[in-house]
Amino acid sequence: MAHRIFGTSVASVYPHYVAKVERKGRTSEELDEVICWLTGYDEPALRRALADGTTFEDFFDAATLNPNAALITGTVCGVRVEEVEDPLMQQIRYLDKLVDELAKGRPMAKVLRS
């Protein structure tokens, strides 16, 4: 049975990501940079996915995950991202972890694992 987040549109969650990072003094442009780094999308492709109501499943299916995504470790909601078995759920958790790090004020170079 697929988790319900898989069928949720990225556009419905995106405003929550923006609110979270902006509350902590970061910008939506920085958020977009992080999302594009993880997924391989460029800005126009990200905007299209948001406008089209693309689900997380389709969003990550069309993505080319950054080779350094495996360097994303730690916990999100008490779950270690590197131990998540379902590949799609792990990719969603990677995104959640990057948003958390951005909101916590980590330097962009560290968030992007460069």
pLDDT of 105 higher than 90:
yes
The DSSP H or E segment spanning 38 is helix 28-39
Evaluate whether 112 touches 102 at the Cβ level (below 8 Å): no
Residue (of 84, 88, 102) closest to 37 by Cα position: 102
Confidence (pTM): 0.94
Q: CA-based angle 108:112:114, to the nearest 5?
A: 100
pLDDT of 2 higher than 80:
no
Mean pLDDT of 20-34: 97
Evaluate whether 56 touches 6 at the Cβ level (below 8 Å): yes
Evaluate whether 98 touches 34 at the Cβ level (below 8 Å): yes
Q: CA-based angle 103:106:102, to the nearest 5?
A: 30
The DSSP H or E segment spanning 80 is strand 79-80
Q: How confident is the model at residue 61, as a pLDDT?
A: 97
Residue extents of the structural domains in the chain: 4-111
**CATH architecture group of domain 4-111:** Orthogonal Bundle (1.10)
